[in-house]
Structure 1
């Protein structure tokens, strides 16, 4: 066991291997193709192969094959084993020494017991997917949620197909606008309880460390903006994206948030990505 832990720590001591591992953690529970990892991190395939081999050998990632494609996923079991070993062997099981500061109990901290939760949805352009998610949770979740969305691109605009879908479903679209994630990074911004990425490209990027360490979820899906064909075919792509997000938002809004601890809530959010 001690040998395994030393190998994992030394493997993550390499900056580029750490970057690969961090990307897979941001994308969890996705299984990510090797080519997409290399493209996101601008790493040659031969070099990436050596990084992934080292992470596999250390028990930090898993690999699956589908046809000619190789997919990689963060090995949560290995990661938990490493953290548990550090906590119980190194810190002798003393949470006062090793527990992250953001988990420290505070008398004034109500955690997830509030009746209102601030939620942010992020994608690349804030033109369709994150706008759908914002509108859906505002409608389905009602007053329990204060909902926002943003994009990582410097500038964008709402997609007309997306607006038409929302309008046809009865959503209020007059107040919607494309926003940049920087709007939510200053001191005056809301303190978020949940932050979701709804596209793979946004999740691949090194997102900011949100104050308070909110529950984070990755609900990646194809970008309907990139769909091709006739207007009817493109409209169908937007309808399908809306439908997928609606299922996920309904499952999320139904969670007994106030009754779940941080770990259980994070697992519930990950499960939604896998099952809807």
Structure 2
């Protein structure tokens, strides 16, 4: 018996203590504690293993080890979704740990810990509602080098989506790193740039990768740039945009062009996140995505 949820079941003191030590011990590590925080933040929804690894900024294989420890401790639960594994916070396990602290350590006198148990009990006791159960959409932005356009789009969606959308980006021929000017501009505009980096779209093809709902290509196809073809597996859209790597002129002129590009992407994402997804079928969403990318319809 290794689940902290069993702390609520009758057993002798030594067994209860051993299970509690296992539970608290599994949390006594920065990556695992971060993973639990992210899962509690989206509870009762789940997250794919690859998404948790991205949020915790660790390799997928390392994250799998940590998730296994948390699962055996009864603090998270796993469920298979096709070829992927999704994980959800197990609030029963957390209740067991809190109950152990209040009843065993405090000898049934939780007042000894003041209000330490008030806030967690309120949060953990929240039952799933229809609002909480609405899924978040995963959106992958593609361009050639994943150094500017798709990086900007990822940062904007994370901010504008406000939890309803999760932004990702990748490139068909990724650069070593994002364009410094882009990162500087995003930081100046209040975006979190700590996790932004150039990467190949191959990272999103493995079994542990987060499952995408939409893939939007930002390649400048009118000028000869092309993105990988994902076929009909995903809802895709084409938003051709100019490549900042081709911007010329003085630093002031380049900054002006970058601001215009940022405004174009922001406008498209604002329209995209406002679509009535509940009332649109797959083909209608596809059509709306392409309309958004039509430069004759959308301007800064």
Q: Aligning the two structures, in what range does the TM-score lie when normalised by the shorter sequence?
A: 0.5 to 0.7
State whether residues 174 and 198 of structure 2, in contact with CA within 8 Å, keep that contact through their aligned partners in structure 1.
no
1:232-253 deviation digits (Å, cap 9, x = unpaired): 1111111111010000000001
Check if 1:182 corresponds to 2:202: yes
In structure 2, distance between residues paired with 1:162 and 1:190: 25
**Who is 1:223 aligned against?**
243
CA RMSD of aligned residues (A): 1.9
Check if 1:207 corresponds to 2:208: no
Check if 1:150 corresponds to 2:148: no
Deviation at 1:122, TM superposition (A): 0.3
Check if 1:244 corresponds to 2:287: no
Q: What does residue range 58-97 of structure 1 map to in structure 2 within 5 Å?
A: none
Deviation at 1:257, TM superposition (A): 1.1
In structure 1, distance between residues paired with 2:174 and 2:289: 28
Check if 1:271 corresponds to 2:291: yes
TM-score (normalised: structure 2): 0.51
Q: Which structure would you say has the larger RCO, counting Cα contacts within 8 Å and 6 or more residues apart?
A: 1
State whether residues 197 and 219 of structure 1, in contact with CA within 8 Å, keep that contact through their aligned partners in structure 2.
yes
1:147-201 deviation digits (Å, cap 9, x = unpaired): 1000111543111110121112110111111111111111111221100001135
1:186-224 deviation digits (Å, cap 9, x = unpaired): 1111221100001135963442447xx221000001111
Of 218, 231, 239, 1:198 maps to 218
State whether residues 143 and 227 of structure 2, in contact with CA within 8 Å, keep that contact through their aligned partners in structure 1.
no
- SS where residue 228 of structure 1 aligns? coil
Check if 1:136 corresponds to 2:133: no
Deviation at 1:258, TM superposition (A): 2.0
In structure 2, distance between residues paired with 1:198 and 1:154: 14
- SS where residue 204 of structure 1 aligns? coil
* Aligned structure 1 segments of 4 or more residues deviating by more than 2 angstroms: 200-210
Moved more, 125-134 or 182-191: 182-191
1:104-135 deviation digits (Å, cap 9, x = unpaired): xxxxxxxxx95211110000111110000001
- SS where residue 140 of structure 1 aligns? helix
Question: Structure 1's 188 and 203: CA in aligned 2 closer, same or farther, altered over 3 A?
Answer: farther
Q: Choose 1 or 2 for highest CA Rg.
A: 2
How many pairs does the alignment contain?
Answer: 162
State whether residues 146 and 174 of structure 2, in contact with CA within 8 Å, keep that contact through their aligned partners in structure 1.
no
5+ residue gaps, structure 1, are 1-112
